[in-house]
């Protein structure tokens, strides 16, 4: 009990400083005159409408592709595990990498010679690319568990279509809703991809908040828009938490009728889906790396790489105890679970804005930047750890206590070794998020703190062939670094069935 109270106190103290007080200050700015001005401006309502449309269309398109893929991956075929791992990769890639990949394929200097920059189609393609693996990861376990109920319905005389509509679909709906809401959460509040690919016409509410802050210093209007966004995200999270999946018995993989054909077809599909990454690496030139390494016009690659690695390592040291503390207190408390999810509702730009408002005396402080990093990373670590902690039988801890172990010792010697694979998987997700952090870094930026993501944005803001080539080179390096570190930490863990 004492251990849980200490973990809860640590987490609550951090959230009060890093999230609750800054958001309270934003509310004070946004509820007054700034909120009234924002509500009277039809342009802001258009940004809000487009953000809703972007989130909903992205969710629908992602589910339309993820659902048949989930049923295809119920089968056993060559390269199944490799293709599943490939589907997860985009979700851990930094947003500037994804944006540069699409620009390298479908931008003004794209390999295909088709310029879709600043179009709705390019933003939706990027959203599906980013979120497909996330939706597939939620749908596949349910699809694997459907075989038993569907077979029972067929034995009772139902046709395949009737069995799916009357039995399979009701079992799938909670997972479909949860996956769709998560995709909506990520795309409605998206910042990096709309900023780099959408242009002024398709700026989301998040991009508009940054524009108001960075170029007009309009804190009241920016705070009002952030409040509107928070209310929408809170509703989506409430709906997500209300969804409850039906308990299903885990199913076995089914034999494929044409395993080689299925493997080849899915391989070609993923090759098309991930063509932007191929285009990114094809456009990366050795001379661009050389010019970026010690650039006189931009932040040198050497400094940006060192900053990225240094900030990631320091923030991970802070996010690790926070993630473990959250897992300990949330495994048996729905209220703590909801509170721990709160950082996922708040965008990085909102975090940066809140810090500028709440802590003016700490502006330019490295500790504030690392606090923002840890706040955005620890929920990802904890969400991977929490199911493993909840699956541990209470009798294990009780037996350790009967044998004389203190709560601390019981956790460290009994529980922690059993959940290490989940903890390692959570560390991989947190590491990928930290390496690619963009929004908070852009708001709290100082020139000497420029990371790889900011160095890419810096070069994209300058016209010309040479800056674009350097940005592509930096993005390809960041993609390799993120993918390699994620693979080294997460390999062999989190198998999907």
pLDDT in tens, 191-204: 888 988 888 888 89
pLDDT > 70: what percent of the chain? 88
Per-residue confidence (pLDDT) for residue 494, from 0 to 100: 45
* pLDDT tier at 496, thresholds 50, 70, 90: very low
- The domain limits of the chain are 1-22+287-497, 31-250+261-283
Q: Residue 120 and residue 60: Cα distance in Å, rounded? A: 15
Task: Report yes or no: 229 and 155 within 8 Å, Cβ to Cβ.
Answer: no
CA distances from 481 to 64, 400, 484, 490 (A): 31, 41, 5, 14
Task: Report yes or no: 190 and 175 within 8 Å, Cβ to Cβ.
Answer: no
**Which DSSP category does 116 fall into?**
-
Q: Judge whether residue 470 has pLDDT over 50.
A: yes
Task: Report yes or no: 182 and 134 within 8 Å, Cβ to Cβ.
Answer: yes
pLDDT tens, position by position, 171-184 = 888 888 888 998 99
pLDDT tens, position by position, 329-383 = 877 766 776 776 778 777 787 788 788 888 888 887 888 889 989 998 888 888 7
Residue (of 272, 375, 369) closest to 322 by Cα position = 375
Greatest Cα pair distance, the chain, in angstroms, is 74
Per-residue confidence (pLDDT) for residue 66, from 0 to 100: 92
Per-residue confidence (pLDDT) for residue 497, from 0 to 100: 44
Q: Judge whether residue 244 has pLDDT over 70.
A: no
* pLDDT tier at 235, thresholds 50, 70, 90: confident
Q: Residue 370 and residue 328: Cα distance in Å, rounded? A: 23
Helix (H, G, I), strand (E, B) or coil at 254: strand
Find the mean pLDDT for residues 241-250: 64
pLDDT > 90: what percent of the chain? 10
Rg, C-alpha atoms of the chain: 23
- HEC string of 2-71 equals HHHHHHHHHHHHHHHHHHHHHHHHHHHHHCCHHHHHHHHCHHHHHHHHHHHHHHHHHHHHHHHHHHHHHH
CATH no. of 31-250+261-283 = 1.10.3720.10
Per-residue confidence (pLDDT) for residue 102, from 0 to 100: 92
Q: Judge whether residue 140 has pLDDT over 60.
A: yes
Q: Residue 102 and residue 193: Cα distance in Å, rounded? A: 10
Angle between helices 301-330 and 420-435 (to 10 degrees): 140
**Phi-psi sector, 77: left (phi>0), alpha (psi -120 to 50), beta:** beta
Per-residue confidence (pLDDT) for residue 396, from 0 to 100: 62
Q: Is there a shared CATH topology between the 1-22+287-497 domain and the 31-250+261-283 domain?
A: yes
Q: Judge whether residue 27 has pLDDT over 90.
A: no
Mean pLDDT of the chain: 82
- Considering the domain delimited by 1-22+287-497, tell me its CATH architecture: Orthogonal Bundle (1.10)
* pLDDT tier at 90, thresholds 50, 70, 90: confident
């Amino acid at each position: 009990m004492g251990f849980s109270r200490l973990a809860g106190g640590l987490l609550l103290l951090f959230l009060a400083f890093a999230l609750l007080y800054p958001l309270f200050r934003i509310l004070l700015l946004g509820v007054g005159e700034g909120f009234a001005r924002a509500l009277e401006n039809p342009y802001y309502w258009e940004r809000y409408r487009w953000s809703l449309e972007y989130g909903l269309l992205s969710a629908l398109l992602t589910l339309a592709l993820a659902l048949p893929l989930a049923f295809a991956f119920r089968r056993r075929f060559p390269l199944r595990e490799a293709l599943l791992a490939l589907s997860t990769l985009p979700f851990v890639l930094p947003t500037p990498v994804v944006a540069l990949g699409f620009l390298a394929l479908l931008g003004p200097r794209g390999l295909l010679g088709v310029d879709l920059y600043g179009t709705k189609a390019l933003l939706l393609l990027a959203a599906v690319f980013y979120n497909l693996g996330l939706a597939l990861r939620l749908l596949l376990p349910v699809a694997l568990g459907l075989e038993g109920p569907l077979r029972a319905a067929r034995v009772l005389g139902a046709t395949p279509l009737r069995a799916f509509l009357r039995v399979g679909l009701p079992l799938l709906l909670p997972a479909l809703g949860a996956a769709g809401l998560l995709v909506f959460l990520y795309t409605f509040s998206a910042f990096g991809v709309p900023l780099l690919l959408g242009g002024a016409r398709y700026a989301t509410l998040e991009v508009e908040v940054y524009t108001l802050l960075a170029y007009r210093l309009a804190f009241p209007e920016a705070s009002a828009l952030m409040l509107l966004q928070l209310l929408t995200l809170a509703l989506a999270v409430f709906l997500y938490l209300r969804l409850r999946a039906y308990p299903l018995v885990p199913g076995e993989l089914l034999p494929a009728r044409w395993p080689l054909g299925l493997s080849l077809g899915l391989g070609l599909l993923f090759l098309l889906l991930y063509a932007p990454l191929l285009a990114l690496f094809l456009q990366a030139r050795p001379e661009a790396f050389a010019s970026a390494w010690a650039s006189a016009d931009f932040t040198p690659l050497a400094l940006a790489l060192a900053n990225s690695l240094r900030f990631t390592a320091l923030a991970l040291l802070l996010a690790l105890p926070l993630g473990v503390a959250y897992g300990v207190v949330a495994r048996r408390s729905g209220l703590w679970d909801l509170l721990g999810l709160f950082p996922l509702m708040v965008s990085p730009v909102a975090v940066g804005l809140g810090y500028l408002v709440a802590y003016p005396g700490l502006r330019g402080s490295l500790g504030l930047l690392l606090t923002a990093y840890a706040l955005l990373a620890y929920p990802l670590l904890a969400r991977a750890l929490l199911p493993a902690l909840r699956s541990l039988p209470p009798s294990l801890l009780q037996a350790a206590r009967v044998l004389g172990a203190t709560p601390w010792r019981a956790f460290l010697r009994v529980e922690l070794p059993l959940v290490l694979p989940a903890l390692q998987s959570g560390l991989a997700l947190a590491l990928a998020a930290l390496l690619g952090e963009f929004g908070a870094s852009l708001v709290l930026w100082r020139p000497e703190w420029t990371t790889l993501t900011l160095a890419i944005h810096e070069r994209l803001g300058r016209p010309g062939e040479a800056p674009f080539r350097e940005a592509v080179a930096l993005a390809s390096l960041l993609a390799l670094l993120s993918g390699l570190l994620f693979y080294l930490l997460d390999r062999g863990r989190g198998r999907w069935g």
